[in-house]
Chains A and B, each alone.
Chain A
């Protein structure tokens, strides 16, 4: 598919026009912001005032309400970037480039926060800030990949060309992340036979699940809001670059 086929005005192609995209999604920003704020207030109220302490971990279970959503986002953001990378490579969709670039720093921050809260949760429960446990280690590697992607975006001058190259690397990373996870799990079980941390999924009582779910959606909507806002900024930044180039050409001619 070449870039200069005659544009059919279905929603997909209209979404591909950056100006149209900004115009269409700007009305979504305020509702998203309000929804996120309400979810956070509700989630924090549940987390601190309306949920019991765990019978084993005591009050430290409250760290879970910020830890798990961040850990989920660290992977969800990468999935978003991978889908956007496919959009860039397969359909050459202009907004996919923008989405990919806007998501990378957000993912890096959420991953860093997941590690930070994990360390603060680990100290009282395991007795150490850092354990070379499979899950923590692969999250650390994920953070390194995010930071590499952010550095890669900053290294390119031509953002349009950068998008396709970075999309290739994002997808290579997406293929590699399960392999890294597997290898790190193999490695850590080899070095420490007894796992210190067993996730007790379905045995969690409802009183803990409710705040967890609310916070989960709060963080997810926070990401969606910030991602959309960052995409708008990126569209404007590209227009600034275009205008600067045009002014420079006009000045020299």
Chain B
């Protein structure tokens, strides 16, 4: 357990050192959300109707943006090869990376959501549901993203191909994420979303570790 904690600390320190990354991510999230009104017009009822979808698309794109730093720096400086020799199994290391990735890329988005909610004319009720659905759904996005990043880590221009792989897998997250905000059966959607996140989180460390160990052979 202490090795796992050390891994968590290392990852957290590394990703907070370049503090600009988190800020860029949040800015990207807000800009994607804020640019939509310019495209569809400033009609408040229309904006309120499509706001959940916009927030989720913005969160999805922002999570894709942060994927590069999940494994690539460690692959490039050889740390990934060293980590494979560690006593801690590779899947636990990937799990630590995944937790930290969620902390530094999804939590800031959650904190920035109120800004988007105001800009997109959301009412208080759907704002609350948006927060819950983002909190429950982003772990699944991070997990699928980790699988995509692990599969493409040994490709030189993998950053381009990872989103193509991740997007189809993320469709259920978007469906249930938006569904848990807008649909009449939102409680069912919320439960599906939570189940999806749990399943993806359980699966992703093993799949990603398998892909990484095949890539580093």
Contacts and interface: CB of A to CB of B under 8 A. Distances in A.
Question: Do any CB atoms of chain A lie under 8 A from CB atoms of chain B in the complex?
Answer: yes
Interface of A: 89, 141, 144-145, 147-148, 151-152, 155-156, 161, 164-166, 168-169, 171-173, 175-176, 179-180, 182-184, 186-187, 190
A161 B168 contact: no
Contact of B169 (A89, A165, A176, A187): A176
Contacts of A175: 203
Dominant secondary structure of chain A at its interface with chain B: helix
B151 A168 contact: yes
Query: What class of interface size applies to chain B in its complex with A?
Result: 20 to 34
Contact of A148 (B165, B189, B207): B165
B127 interface: no
Contacts of A186: 175-176, 179, 189, 192
A180 B211 CA distance: 22
A12 B86 CA distance: 36
Contacts of B175: 183-184, 186-187
Given A161-B154, A168-B214, A190-B185, A152 B171 contact: no
A183 B172 contact: yes
B171 A180 contact: yes
A7 to B, nearest CB: 21
Interface in B159-217: 161, 164-165, 167-169, 171-172, 175-176, 179, 183-185, 189, 192, 196, 203, 207, 210-211, 214-215, 217
B17 interface: no
B217 A190 contact: no
Nearest to A143: B168
B210 A89 contact: yes
Nearest to B148: A169
Nearest to B178: A187
Contacts of A144: 164, 167-168
B165 A152 contact: yes
25 contacts: A145-B168, A148-B161, A148-B165, A148-B168, A151-B164, A152-B152, A155-B157, A155-B158, A156-B154, A161-B214, A164-B217, A165-B151, A165-B154, A166-B151, A173-B168, A173-B169, A175-B203, A176-B169, A180-B171, A180-B172, A182-B172, A183-B176, A184-B171, A186-B175, A187-B179
